[in-house]
């Protein structure tokens, strides 16, 4: 006694289901690899020794012009790694409500960052000029960055994408660290310009 043959309709239905599932998987992979989020950059830490009054009780004897900082870089992509070019940082000091003077530049070397990863990169610069002059009884810095990144998906690297941004940072005039301990986001692709003075200045 022979087994009944499968109907052609059943075979077609199975093939169609398999094809739809395969197309769905491919579409999902393409979406995950082609839709990328820009990395987020933050000023995690900054320290200006010349403002630390526990080290410099006499405000007229500031000789240390070094600025120490930690840059935080976050990749929120689910499957895309990021290859960073060198990250160029520029530091400025507010001399009035809407004017700044350059303190100097620093560079964080390029590196590769896996998906869903964060990185902390420490650095410093030997600043120039007066780091401590207040504006309306506060000390405010401007920090800007420029870099370019390539995204690595499952199959290839994308072309380079330029990124830039910056933020204003209030520095504690007695300790030399950020007034607000929370990390400061250096807004991605925001114009590197001063709008109307540092936040918090009145």
Q: Is the residue at 109 inside a domain?
A: yes
Residue 171 lies in a domain: yes
Note the pLDDT of residue 199. Answer: 39
Q: What is the mean pLDDT of residues 136-162?
A: 90
Reference 123, options 86, 151, 94, 160; nearest CA is 86
| 77 found inside a domain | yes
CB 170 within 8 A of CB 138: yes
- 27 lies in a domain? no
Quote the CA–CA distance of 121 and 116 in Å, as a whole number: 17
Let me know if residue 32 belongs to a domain: no
Q: How many CB atoms lie within 10 A of CB 170?
A: 18
Task: Please list the helix, strand and coil fractions of the chain in percent, rounded to the nearest 5, in that order.
Answer: 15, 45, 45
Which CATH number belongs to the domain containing residue 109 in this structure? 2.60.40.10
Least confident of 71-75, 161-165, 189-193: 189-193
User: Tell me, what's the pLDDT at 80?
Assistant: 92
Q: How many domains does the chain fold into?
A: 1
| Residue 16 falls inside a structural domain | no
Residue pLDDT, tens place only, 41-100 = 999 999 999 999 888 666 555 678 999 999 999 999 988 999 999 999 999 999 888 889
Which pLDDT band, with edges at 50, 70 and 90, does 193 fall under?
very low
Q: Is the distance from CB of 92 to CB of 101 less than 8 angstroms? A: yes
Tell me which residue range forms the domain holding 123.
Answer: 37-185
Residue 196 resides in a domain: no
| Mean of the per-residue pLDDT values of the chain | 82
pLDDT of residue 98: 82
**Residue 29 falls inside a structural domain:** no
């Amino acid at each position: 006694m022979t087994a009944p043959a499968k109907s052609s309709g059943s075979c077609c239905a199975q093939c169609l289901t398999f094809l739809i599932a395969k197309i769905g998987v491919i579409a999902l992979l393409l979406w995950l690899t082609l839709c990328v989020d820009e990395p987020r950059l933050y000023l995690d830490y900054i320290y200006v020794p010349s403002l630390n009054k526990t080290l410099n009780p006499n405000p007229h004897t500031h000789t240390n012009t070094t600025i120490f900082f930690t840059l935080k870089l976050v990749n929120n992509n689910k499957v895309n790694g990021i290859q960073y070019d060198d990250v160029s940082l520029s530091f400025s000091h507010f001399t009035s409500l809407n004017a700044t003077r350059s303190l100097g530049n620093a560079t964080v070397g390029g590196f590769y960052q896996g998906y869903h990863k964060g990185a902390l990169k420490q650095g410093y610069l030997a600043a120039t000029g007066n780091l401590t002059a207040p504006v309306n009884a506060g000390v405010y810095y401007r920090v800007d960055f420029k870099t370019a990144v390539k995204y690595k998906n499952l199959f290839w690297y994308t072309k380079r994408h330029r990124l830039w941004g910056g933020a204003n940072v209030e520095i504690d005039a007695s300790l030399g660290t950020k007034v607000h301990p929370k990390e400061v986001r250096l807004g991605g692709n925001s114009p590197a310009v001063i709008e109307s003075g540092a936040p918090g200045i009145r």
